[in-house]
Amino acid sequence: MFVARSIAADHKDLIHDVSYDFHGRRMATCSSDQSVKVWDKSENGEWHCTASWKTHSGSVWRVTWAHPEFGQVLASCSFDRTAAVWEEIVGESNDKQRGLSHWIKRTTLVDSRTSVTDVKFAPKHMGLMLTTCSADGVVRIYEAPDVMNLSQWSLQHEISCKLSCSCISWNPSSSRAHQPMFAVGSDDSNVTYSGKVQIYEYNENTRKYAKAETLMTVTDAVHDIAFAPNLGRSFHVLAIATKDVRIFKLVPMRKESASTGPTKLEVQIVAQFDNHNSQVWRVSWNITSTLLASSGDDGCVRLWKANYMDNWKCTGILKGDGSPLTGSSGQPTAMSTVVGSSVQTSQNALNGMSAGRIGKRAPFAPPLRQLTSPKTYQHPAYY
Amino acid sequence: MEEVDVEPAVTNIPAASDGKHLGFAWGPGDILVYETLYKASGSGCSFIHEVRKDEDIYSPNLRKLFNESHHIFVGLQTIREDLPSKNKKPQFVSISKNYRSVIRACMEELQQVAEVATQYGNQVSILLAIELIWNLCEVLFIDAAPAGSLLLHLLDWVRLHKADVDEKAAEVLQSESPAEHHDYWDVVVSYVLQGRLEEARQMLVKQATLHPAARKMYKLMDTLLSKMPFYNPGGTQTLTEFDVKWRHWHGEVNRCLQDNSFASNQHLEIICKIIVGDEDTLLEHKELLSTWYHFLVTRLLFSHPTVKPTELHYYAQSCMTMFLDARSVPEPLDNILLAAFEFDIHQVIKECSIALNNWWFVAHLTDLLDHCKLLQSHNLHFGSNLREFLLLEYASGLFTHHSLWQLAVDYFDNCPEFGRVYLGLQIEHIPLDTERKALKVLRICEQRQMSEQVRSICKIMAMRALRNNRLGSALSWSIRAKDAAFATLISERFLQDYCTRGTFSDLDLIDNLGPAMLLSDRLTFLGKYREFHKLYGEKRFSEAAKLLLSLMTAKIAPRSFWMTLLTDALPLLEQKEVGHRAHDNMDKKRVLSSLKTSFELLLMQLSSTSSKC
């Protein structure tokens, strides 16, 4: 892997979340400086900041995009105990020429009494639904019944998890084989309730969410949680960021005909990695759920992959090299994009023929170049 | 089969390494990384780094490789399953050769570029290695040459990948006095080492003419070289017969050696020792052999030309050990070739997967081997899983590219277990930059009955059009999405527009709705209302009136529109048409009186409710 590009984000404080939109052409960043910025990727791959505005009166923890079927909609959540929904307004033509757009607040959700730690949209087949979780231990699910009027949101469900919540993840599967399901993680230090991950499932009879499972083996604080995209599997895969990286398989068990409760889930642990040495703060799957990324106290991002035998292994590490880029752009909207240089090395796994060590090489093969820096090597530039 | 454990590659990010966390966000083809501190605040160096995994798909030089191999892949999938393997082998070998020629073509093109830009030198040498591996796999696995032919194929293999001999030879031959060129003997020996005895003989003639005194010696060598038996697979001679003949010849050469026939000429002596298969002499020419596998093939040529496939690995291992210094560690390429000589296909694939960043090679090779039914010897289920796994990896990688994604579709189509769901998932994320691209994506989804993806894409386009106030576009996308609710919404907008401006936009679209009109009541009303206007404009008043009446009575007219309809009805009521036929007039009278009644009814209803247009 290599750094293709570095973008000066120009936030005045720590960036807490970065979120790509569905098509990968826009991104949103949020920060302790209480603002959210939206960036657009141009055809040549350059990122331009097209909007930057103050969103909350406290650090903004997370920002997330709604599915583009609902238009250009963002949600943010903050330490200021609120979550907000933003919609992009198609501006005047001269705005467009200057590459700017406007975002207006459609609603503020003020039900939480404490910091709102996560905000996520539910899968699109459920309509336009927003979920928040807070340090007060409550998960709230809101719905906008009229997609064309985003100022109307109604609180559909309020679920008390008894533990301070840090993260939620919806099961993205739209299969009719099972009901909507989400997982909540808690970073509460309470030892009475030892299982720090709870799974809730919608019950069409009671029309409410009921707890389907608590992962009792997860006893330490959970900082992030992520269901994997479902690729035609009959079971669910859930990744958890706690004192290590854990991947669980949740297998729905056959329902007895009379049973009206949530589906029973058989919980199996698939993998556990403690390479981050201490706390793991984020986990997230790529689109095809073939790669899991995690970020931890060791200051690294690690990539995990399963081979065709379903054995999980770390396949890559992204690590700060101790020399951060300095300097910033002048204007808030203009940016300096620095095209990062890939470390050109010649320590390739396959460097032409092994002949190089002895005697002449074939005419096409270039002469062996020396390693420049012994610590840094990466996959060959080509293959 | 042991698990190959490799240390994960580390990629450096220009960010602080102490006391900070690295946040990340997955993108379609990359991952964004930034410095942060979880659960804390503080100033950060706010740079966001775009980290990418695979550079190859963006390389313009390799574009041809991806395109042409895609073509070959698709062709391969259509080979009928029911033909017996015996008939299919030549086809598979031919396909393998096609793949290899694509690699070669790409390599040659790259080589020309590499002369200018050194960073491509890497790609060239890797392509070279890939072709080398593929060629060997073709010889051993696909062609599955038996003893006798096996060595001949291996000889071809070595010759193909050691082209510097010809270069040097050309240089020598073009010189004033080739026999006196300092590289002359190197060339001769190289020819011998490659079993190119005819060419060696021709070179030796030049030397012989310079030394008439040693004519007898040169004649002897020439005879020996010309009499070396080579197995002819198409001939009538059996392998055993060949073996006998060869041993006989081998004995003759040995005798010449023992007789010191070449003792006075060190070069000829060396050649004699080589062709008798003397290992030490061979090893003295490491420079000319340059690789352990050349050494292997040469050694087999001159000591055991009837080598059986099952015996190869023993010789390969020992040759590698003999050839490499005690200190050198085998490189990945060596391990891959060794695994091939051991006929451990899975090991080959595994090692290649690890050594190579891009899945192109292993995906296509494994697919071909699977078609040859070579992956099923282990375990049926396992074999097809591996093929699909690699193809899915490769295709998923292609999908992030703005135009290569279209090639990926065919690969997914040929993955029976997960291809469809992978395609469905990834195709939704393709950025719909233009209508044209959206239509392209849609066509692919429609062809595969991916109705949910079709609906979703159309909805996204409709929403986008609506937000940009392009009502016509929004409507046509909603119709394609079969989204009744959205079509209703947009129809409302059209009607609102009409109220404010007095005219319709996008007349073309509304006039040609056809059966799509039935998608939603509001849309039907819109279509019919426009029809009413057309009739009125064409002065076909009685038809217009009838239509207006049906709109009112069928109750598909939205409340908000009644005022407008009534206003439209007024001139009709006052219309004094020039009478044509009495029948017409009667008809018209009836229509008009019904209109009047409806008018009154509506007025009554209107007065009891308030409605605005």
CB-CB under 8 Å, B161 with A15: no
Contact assignment for A2 to B129 by CB distance below 8 Å: no
Q: Tokens for B67?
A: 């395109």
Helix axes B292-303, B312-323, angle to 10 degrees: 120
Give the bridge partners for A88, in sequence order.
A103
Q: Per-residue DSSP letters for B2-21?
A: PPPP-PPEEEEESS--SS-E
The answer to whether B330 contacts chain A (CB < 8 Å) is: yes
Query: Which string of b and e fits B36-72 if b means at least 16 CB within 10 Å?
Result: bbbeeeeebbbbbbbbbbbbbbbbebbeebbebbbeb
Query: In whole angstroms, what is the distance from residue B300 CA to residue B307 CA?
Result: 7
Contact assessment for residue B445 and residue B453, using Cβ atoms and an 8 Å cutoff: yes
> Cα A371 to the chain's mean position, in Å?
36
Q: Answer whether A96 touches B (CB < 8 Å).
A: no
Contacts of A340 in chain B (CB under 8 A): 14, 49-50
pLDDT tens readout for residues B478-528: 999 888 989 998 988 888 888 788 777 777 888 888 888 888 888 888 888
Which chain A residues are Cβ-neighbours of B360 within 8 angstroms? 383
Predicted pLDDT at A178: 79
Instruction: Kindly indicate the confidence band of residue A331, based on its pLDDT and cuts at 50, 70 and 90.
Output: very low
Six token digits for residue A75: 């949600």
- Tell me the DSSP string of B197-248: HHHHHHHHHHHHHH-GGGHHHHHHHHHHHHH-----TTSS--HHHHHHHHHH
The per-residue pLDDT for range A262-303, each reduced to its tens digit, is 788 889 998 999 888 889 999 999 988 889 999 998 889 999
Confidence bin at A141 (pLDDT 50/70/90) = very high
DSSP B100-167: HHHHHHHHHHHHHHHTT-THHHHHHHHHHHHHHHHHHHIIIIIS---TTHHHHHHHHHHHHT-THHHH
The pLDDT assigned to A320 comes to: 85
Sheet with A26-31, side-by-side order of all strands: A15-20, A26-31, A35-41, A47-54
- List all residues 6 or more positions away from B452 whose beta carbon is below 8 Å from its beta carbon: A174, B424
Label residue B282 by pLDDT band (50, 70, 90).
very high
Contact between A257 and A298 under an 8 Å Cβ cutoff? The reply is no
Distance CA A284, CA B24 (A): 9
What b/e sequence results for A301-316 when a residue is b if at least 16 CB atoms lie within 10 Å of its CB, and e otherwise? bbbbbbeeeeebebbb
* Contact residues on chain A for B12, CB-CB shorter than 8 A: 3, 319-321, 343, 376
Confidence of residue A341 (pLDDT cuts 50, 70, 90): very low
SS3 B546: helix
CA distance A160 to chain B (A): 23
Quickly list DSSP for B403-420: TTHHHHHHHHHT-TTTHH
Residue B95: which of B346, B351, B369, B358 has the closest Cα?
B369
Contacts of B127 in chain A (CB under 8 A): 382
Residues 418-437 of B with CB under 8 A from A: 418, 420-422, 425-426, 428-432
Q: Can you read off the two tokens belonging to residue B364?
A: 């296509």
CA-CA distance, B25 to A26, in Å (whole number)?
12
A376 burial level (CB within 10 Å; 0-12, 13-18, 19+): middle
3-state secondary structure A281-321: EEEEECCCCCEEEEEECCCEEEEEEECCCCCEEEEEEEEEC
Is the CB of A68 less than 8 angstroms away from the CB of B22? no
The pLDDT value recorded for residue B504 is 78
Residue of A nearest to B167 (CA): A363
Residues of A in contact with B187 (CB under 8 A): none
Residue of B22, B107, B459 to mutate, testing the A interface (most A Cβ within 10 Å of its Cβ) = B22
**Nearest by Cα to A78 from A99, A108, A39, A41:** A108
Nearest CA in chain A to B361: A383
CB contact under 8 A, B16 and A18: no
State yes or no: pLDDT of A369 exceeds 50.
no
Query: DSSP string of B437-465?
Result: HHHHHHHHHHHTT-HHHHHHHHHHHHHHH
Given a contact cutoff of 8 angstroms between Cβ atoms, the answer to whether B365 and B137 are in contact is yes
| Alpha helical stretches, state H, chain A | 93-97
Residues A382, B52: C-beta atoms closer than 8 Å: no
Indicate if the pLDDT at residue B230 is higher than 60.
yes
**Cross-chain CB nearest to B27 (options A10, A20, A353):** A20
Q: Give residue A152's Cα distance to chain centre.
A: 27
CA-based radius of gyration for chain A: 23
CB within 8 Å: A290 and B286: no
Tell me, rounded to whole angstroms, the distance of Cα A51 from its chain centroid. Answer: 21
**Which pLDDT score, from 0 to 100, does residue A93 have?**
60
DSSP string, B267-280: HHHHHHHHHTT-HH
Which DSSP helix (H) or strand (E) runs through B34? strand B30-36
CA angle, B213 then B215 then B219, to 5°: 165
Q: Assign B295 a pLDDT band (cuts: 50, 70, 90).
A: very high
Contacts of A360 in chain B (CB under 8 A): 164, 287, 290
Q: How many CB atoms lie within 10 A of CB B213?
A: 6
**Cα gap A91→A374, rounded to integer Å:** 53
- Whole-Å CA distances, A40 to A28, A49, A101, B447, B514: 9, 6, 10, 32, 39
Distance from CA of B344 to the nearest CA of A (A): 18
Please check whether residue B38 touches A, CB under 8 A: yes
How confident is the model at residue B149, as a pLDDT? 93
Q: Given pLDDT bands bounded at 50, 70 and 90, which one contains residue B380? A: very low
CA proximity to B345, closest of B314, B311, B379: B379
Which member of A9, A13, A383 has the closest CB to residue B48? A9
What does the pLDDT read at residue B198? 94
Nearest CB neighbour to B126, from listed A71, A297, A382? A382
Query: Which residues are CB-contacts of B107 (< 8 A; sequence separation ≥ 6)?
Result: A364, B124, B127, B128, B131
In this complex, is the C-beta atom of A374 within 8 Å of any C-beta atom belonging to chain B? Answer: no
Whether the CB of A23 is below 8 Å from some CB of chain B: the reply is yes
Asked if A353 is an interface residue toward chain B (Cβ–Cβ < 8 A), one would say yes
The rounded percent of chain B whose pLDDT value lies above 70 is: 88
Taking CB atoms and an 8 Å limit, are B396 and A379 in contact across chains? Answer: no
Q: Is B44–A14 a contact, with Cβ atoms under 8 angstroms apart?
A: yes
A37: contact with B, CB 8 A cutoff: no
* B612, pLDDT greater than 70: no
Tokens of A336: 């300096």
Q: Which residues, other chains included, contact A113 with Cβ-Cβ below 8 Å and sequence gap of 6+?
A: A81, A134, A136
Bridge partners (DSSP) listed for residue A248 = A238, A269
The DSSP line for B242-256 is HHHHHHHHHHHHHHH
Report the DSSP pairing between strands B9-13 and A312-320: parallel
DSSP B340-361: HHTT-HHHHHHHHHHH-SSSHH
- Give which of B59, B29, B55, B73 is closest to B407, Cα–Cα: B73
Q: Does B115 touch chain A (CB under 8 A)?
A: no
Question: Would you tell me how many other CB atoms lie within 10 Å of the CB of residue A152?
Answer: 12
Q: Work out how many CB contacts closer than 8 A connect A with B.
A: 357
Taking the CA of residue B150 and the nearest CA in chain A, the distance in Å comes to 23
Asked if B383 and B376 touch (Cβ cutoff 8 Å), the reply is yes
The answer, for B78 touching chain A at a CB cutoff of 8 Å, is no
Say which of A31, A323, A350 has its CB closest to residue B355.
A350
CA separation for the pair B195, B185 (Å, rounded): 15
pLDDT of residue B359: 87
Segment B90-123, tens digit of pLDDT:
899 999 999 999 999 998 888 887 776 666 667 8
**Cβ–Cβ under 8 Å, residues A219 and A197:** no
B357 interaction partners in chain A (CB closer than 8 Å): 379-383
| Selected residues 211-270 of chain A with any CB under 8 Å from a CB in chain B | 223, 229, 231-232
| Cβ atoms < 10 Å from Cβ of B413 | 17
Q: Most confidently modeled of A162-176, B295-309, B468-482?
A: B295-309
Tell me which residue has tokens 């499972």: A213
Contacts of A324 in chain B (CB under 8 A): 14-16, 35, 45, 47
Cβ contact B334–A17 (<8 Å): no
Asked if residue B78 lies in contact with residue B95, where contact means CB atoms within 8 angstroms, the answer is: no
Q: Give per-residue pLDDT as tens, A210-251.
A: 999 999 999 999 999 999 998 878 889 999 999 999 999 999
A22: chain B residues, CB-CB within 8 Å: 428-429
**Is A352 in Cβ contact with B47 (below 8 Å)?**
no
Contact A23 B430 (CB under 8 A): yes
Position A117, amino acid = T
Among A164-168, B300-304, B380-384, B449-453, which stretch is predicted with the lowest mean pLDDT?
B380-384
pLDDT at residue B609, as a whole number: 55
pLDDT at A330 over 60: no
Q: Which of A131-140, A148-157, B351-360 has the lowest mean pLDDT?
A: B351-360
Q: Which of A4, A359, A360 sits opposite B52 (nearest CB)?
A: A4
Determine the pLDDT at residue B328. 78
**Can you tell me the distance from the alpha carbon of A285 to that of A291, in angstroms, rounded to the nearest whole number?**
6
In chain A, DSSP finds a helix count (H) and a strand count (E) of: 1, 26
Residue A336 confidence (pLDDT) above 70: no
pLDDT in tens, B539-555: 887 788 788 878 877 77
With CB atoms and an 8 Å threshold, state whether A124 touches B23.
Answer: no
Range of lowest pLDDT (B303-307, B371-375, B406-410): B371-375
The span from the CA of B334 to the CA of B354, in Å, is 14
CB A174 within 8 A of CB A69: no
Residue of B nearest to A61 (CA): B39
CB contact under 8 A, A323 and B14: yes
Mean pLDDT of chain A: 81
User: What CA–CA distance (Å, rounded) separates A105 from A103?
Assistant: 7
Ramachandran assignment for B596, one of left (phi > 0), alpha (psi -120 to 50 degrees), beta (any other): alpha
